[in-house]
Chains A and B, each alone.
Chain A
Amino acid sequence: MPNEPAVKEVHVLWTSEGMSCDGDTVAMTSGTLPKIEDVVLGLIPGLPKVHLHNKVLAFETGEEYLRAFRKAARGELDPFVLVVEGSIPNEKINGDGYWTSMGNHEDGQPITLNEWLDVLAPRAWAVVAAGTCATFGGIHAMAGNPTGSMGLADYLGWDYRSKAGLPIVNVPGCPIQPDNFMETLLWLLQQAAGRLPMIPLDENLRPTWLFGKTVHEGCDRAGYYEQADFALDYNSPKCQVKIGCWGPVVNCNVPKRGWMHGVGGCPNVGGVCIGCTMPGFPDKFMPFMDQPSGASVSTAMIAPYGKLIRRLRGMTNETVNEEPKWHHNGDKLTSGYDPHWSP
């Protein structure tokens, strides 16, 4: 039986009131490794008891729902993990107005998300940015946006440290791959319980074991690339780099992991990688359906090697597609067996 966790209870305050679509919350509900209900019901051994405060799943509504957030803001709720979903708009550029808010001040005017962050971030045990909007700005921060949106680390500062000394933990993806998020949350809860050390993060604050490899390195169509055998339109089941796939340069494990239970994904099932986990998303990957600039060079360079290899492998493939010639119902055994008996 595991020892008692160091921290017995943790509140998870999850706000999706950034510039978001709530898609990360919805994606999280499809995760199974572990399932959110298993975490909430205390079915994972050794975890602290988790109190989840998430708008989409909350029993309470209105002020009753906000009670936990208001308590945390007053320093009366400890410890808590703050999960932020959605990009952070610039509220300095819109006069008396607001871009996004959650609840109201006493005078009836909205409390902006930014005001909540200013109060909650310094008090949080850990802060998690869920999804590419919150991690790096994402879609709502694209060129020409009117709201001045940015990622959470751009707002709080990349050198932000939580009360427990953690940097922001970034889980990018548009939306999050469900199990990537749940695994990260699990690590943090284990860490809070004193069972795991500091979560390993890269320079963009992403968990290293989830974002350390590229899409291409985990893609089951990468073998076509090696043989310079490229899809020229979306009917083809081959490597899609010439029709828009950015997989070779994007940090993400989706083709390896699939989307849910190994089902679905991106280039592995015919959807070009549009770089949705990346800080440069979306602008650096648009137009999404055109060949990435670097791919014309790399696909040309691999062509002589790939075509030769493909031909040679084709020949070998034909050979190994034939059964050995001693598989027959003839009068004589031709397998090479040396008989110690004669019929």
Chain B
Amino acid sequence: MAVETGTERRLVEMAWDPVTRIIGNLGIYTKIDFENREVVECKSTSSIFRGYSVFMRGKDPRDAGFITSRICGICGDNHTTCSVYAQNMAYGIKMPMMAEWIYNLGEAAEYMFDHAIFQDNLVFVDFCEKMVRETNPGLLERAERTPAPHADVHGFETIADIMRSYNPFTGETYREALAMSRLTREMFCLMEGRHVHPSTLYPGGTGTVATPQVFSDYLSRLVHFADFAKKLVPLNDDVFDFFYEAMPGYERVGNRRVQLGCWGAFQDPEVVDYRYENMTKWGRAMFVTPGIVVDGELITTDLVEINLGMRILLGNSYYKDWVGEEIFVARDPLGNPIDRRHPWNQTTIPAPQKRDLDGGPYSWVMSPRWYRKETGDHLALDTGGGPLARLWVTALANLVHTPYVSSTGSSVQIHLPKTQNLPEMDFEWKVPRWANTIERDRARAYFLAYATAMAFWFVEKAFERIALGDVKVFQDFEVPEEGIGCGFHEAVRGVLSHHLVIRDGKIANYHPYPPTPWNASPRDVYGTPGPYEDAVQGLPIFEENGPDSFKGIDIMRTVRSFDPCLPCGVHMFLGNGRVIEQRHAPMFGAGG
């Protein structure tokens, strides 16, 4: 949002660098109008460059899954999985069905683990009693008086009791979530060997031995975790509904035009063959549907169309342009032309230099955009932190129908069986009115339940293979001299793609595009801000503190709602509170 013309505003520079309780290196630099309680400008920067696309060139392509896992220290396995998908395409592999179920079970455990630890140990500290006491004492006072509507399920009498249970290290839910994050990581290790960098995934399948034991070990832990998932959904609803009710207008915090991308997750082993020519079909068979939602309308569920629309723009980042470098893939296997700015044709050329937040380069993140040919727009899609886009696309597409999770065309129904303390329960996630901070966070709790429910079904399918005596988990293959591949997956925090080009049996080009470059990108060549920037600009401030003790809590909640994971892609900055333009005497209201 631009500075209003015709008015003079007193702007204060505020920055948060490093932003904590995220993965990786992020700085947020803002200009805030405290009189009108609004963030006027926001730039997000990342101050790390490691160079994966550079040092992978010339390496054996089979090593790609092992190497790319190291991009991310919380969802490294999402990279390995995506790399395996891309390699399967390049080598012409159809993985054995049991291997697919093992991948789905491992990835489901990753969503459960990661959403639990991120939501409860990182995000919710922004909603905990200790934090709210520092930023909005008036709100906390009201929370003390507000009964929690679902107290019968989760056991906390008031909203403030829930908030207290999230105080770091001392809070009950905080500590239970840490314990649950361990239980789910054990489930993960049963399928993929190690967390965070898996040991048992290979192109062509897995080395996990498909015994009845691994699946029953997984199932017995899953039942225990499902009990926690059932409490978490209503507990999240209680807090988020309270925020809307207690602070009218809070829906505008972190709100942005609906431009959501989801690249799909959980392959259907009956359908997927990894052939590009069939990608539209097997993409639509995935148990989380790939697609793009713009302004509430589902504009595609076709992975081929999604692939063709990808563009990597340089914008205000520390890289040289690759115009004039080699075109690796002129046409896809279906004959469609591939753009020079597509990841298959990207050449990464780092150009380290000083940071310039006044019109120059300021980030190590490039700007992925999706080209919508009908309108000619380069859309700055975001992932809604992952869950919001996954649920939104899956709900509208109406393609997922299983005994545990089912899409309806406008919602997603989730069924969880009886567990230790709670009976069978059904949840329904309905398309919300906004793509804002609260809805991104709420969706995370619901998707955690989604992954839990799907895992029950995947265990059943794995036991079906056991019953048939089909325990093959690996399909041997030859690496071709020349080949291309692409993999599409959902990292925990959103869209993930890997694009691979093989020449002379070696990697000629490899470009992973994780969610964070999409979400944390700086302004692109067209001046379009990245999603964090866009979501923070124009953000109304509800914090009760003035600039002297300002914590930026509404900004932090917004940035964290995207589940930033900067090794994959970024950098907010609390400067010295320097006043850059002073016209009026300061006047700070008491929040609300």
Chain A residues proximal to chain B, CB less than 8 Å:
17, 19-27, 29-30, 32, 35, 37, 40-41, 55-66, 94-104, 108-110, 138-140, 142-147, 149, 174-175, 233-235, 237, 240, 254, 258-261, 263-266, 269-272, 274, 276, 282, 286-289
Which of A23, A175, A286 makes the CB contact (< 8 A) with B63? A286
Which of A138, A260, A269 makes the CB contact (< 8 A) with B182? A260
CA distance A70 to B375 in the complex (A): 50
- Given the complex, which residues of A lie within 8 Å of B15, measured CB to CB? 62, 104
Most B Cβ at <10 Å: residue of A21, A59, A240, A260: A21
- B209 A57 Cβ-Cβ under 8 A: no
Binds A, one of B193-201, B387-395, B428-436: B193-201
Evaluate whether A61 and B556 lie within 8 angstroms (CB atoms) in the complex, with A147-B50, A235-B472, A271-B199 already known.
yes
Q: Is the interface of B mostly helix, strand, loop or mixed?
A: loop
Smallest Cβ distance from B557 to chain A, in angstroms? 11
CA distance A217 to B574 in the complex (A): 52
- Given the complex, which residues of B lie within 8 Å of A254, measured CB to CB? 194
Q: A138-B70, A271-B198 are in contact. List 14 more A-B contacts (CB 8 A).
A: A19-B48, A29-B178, A57-B122, A62-B16, A62-B572, A102-B47, A104-B573, A110-B47, A145-B54, A147-B50, A175-B196, A266-B194, A272-B207, A274-B66
- A17 B59 Cβ-Cβ under 8 A: no
Smallest Cβ distance from B523 to chain A, in angstroms? 18
- Given the complex, which residues of B lie within 8 Å of A146, measured CB to CB? 51, 54-55, 350
The yes or no answer to B181 lying at the interface (CB within 8 A) is yes
- Given the complex, which residues of B lie within 8 Å of A65, measured CB to CB? 18, 20
Smallest Cβ distance from B136 to chain A, in angstroms? 16
- A21 B567 Cβ-Cβ under 8 A: yes
Residue of A nearest to B188 (CB): A264
Most A Cβ at <10 Å: residue of B73, B122, B574: B73
- Given the complex, which residues of B lie within 8 Å of A17, measured CB to CB? 18, 25, 48
- B18 A62 Cβ-Cβ under 8 A: yes
Evaluate whether A56 and B21 lie within 8 angstroms (CB atoms) in the complex, with A139-B70, A271-B193, A286-B60 already known.
yes
Chain B residues proximal to chain A, CB less than 8 Å:
15-25, 47-51, 54-55, 57-60, 62-63, 66-67, 70-74, 76, 117, 121-122, 125, 130-131, 168-170, 175, 178, 181-182, 185-186, 188-190, 192-202, 204-209, 217, 318, 350-355, 357, 472-474, 476, 551-552, 556, 567, 572-575
- A235 B473 Cβ-Cβ under 8 A: yes
Smallest Cβ distance from B128 to chain A, in angstroms? 9
- Given the complex, which residues of A lie within 8 Å of B199, measured CB to CB? 264-266, 269-272, 274
Evaluate whether A263 and B186 lie within 8 angstroms (CB atoms) in the complex, with A61-B21, A145-B51 already known.
yes
Most A Cβ at <10 Å: residue of B18, B57, B200, B202: B18
CA distance A143 to B67 in the complex (A): 13
Of the A-B pairs whose beta carbons lie under 8 Å apart in the complex, a sample of 19, sorted by A's number, is A23-B74, A30-B185, A56-B20, A56-B21, A57-B21, A96-B352, A101-B48, A110-B355, A140-B51, A143-B55, A144-B54, A147-B51, A234-B207, A261-B186, A263-B190, A263-B217, A264-B194, A270-B193, A271-B194
- Given the complex, which residues of B lie within 8 Å of A27, measured CB to CB? 73, 195-196
Evaluate whether A58 and B20 lie within 8 angstroms (CB atoms) in the complex, with A108-B355, A270-B207, A270-B208 already known.
yes
Which of B196, B197, B209, B575 makes the CB contact (< 8 A) with A108? B575
- B67 A139 Cβ-Cβ under 8 A: yes
Smallest Cβ distance from B192 to chain A, in angstroms? 8
CA distance A35 to B176 in the complex (A): 13
- B195 A260 Cβ-Cβ under 8 A: yes
Smallest Cβ distance from A58 to chain B, in angstroms? 4
**4 A-B pairs with the lowest CB-CB distances in the bound complex, closest first:** A97-B352, A23-B73, A271-B199, A264-B189
- B169 A288 Cβ-Cβ under 8 A: no
Evaluate whether A147 and B194 lie within 8 angstroms (CB atoms) in the complex, with A103-B18, A109-B354 already known.
no
Smallest Cβ distance from B553 to chain A, in angstroms? 9
- B181 A30 Cβ-Cβ under 8 A: yes
CA distance A54 to B125 in the complex (A): 14
Smallest Cβ distance from A93 to chain B, in angstroms? 9
- A288 B22 Cβ-Cβ under 8 A: no
- Given the complex, which residues of B lie within 8 Å of A145, measured CB to CB? 51, 54-55
- A56 B23 Cβ-Cβ under 8 A: yes
Residue of B nearest to A27 (CB): B196
- A264 B190 Cβ-Cβ under 8 A: yes
CA distance A318 to B62 in the complex (A): 41
- A60 B20 Cβ-Cβ under 8 A: yes
- Given the complex, which residues of A lie within 8 Å of B23, measured CB to CB? 21-22, 26, 56
- Given the complex, which residues of A lie within 8 Å of B207, measured CB to CB? 234, 240, 269-272
- A109 B355 Cβ-Cβ under 8 A: yes
- B16 A61 Cβ-Cβ under 8 A: yes
- B73 A25 Cβ-Cβ under 8 A: yes
Residue of A nearest to B352 (CB): A97
- A30 B21 Cβ-Cβ under 8 A: no
- Given the complex, which residues of B lie within 8 Å of A98, measured CB to CB? 47, 352
CA distance A17 to B63 in the complex (A): 26
Evaluate whether A108 and B357 lie within 8 angstroms (CB atoms) in the complex, with A56-B21, A58-B21, A62-B19 already known.
yes
- A55 B186 Cβ-Cβ under 8 A: no
Smallest Cβ distance from A15 to chain B, in angstroms? 10
CA distance A237 to B572 in the complex (A): 49
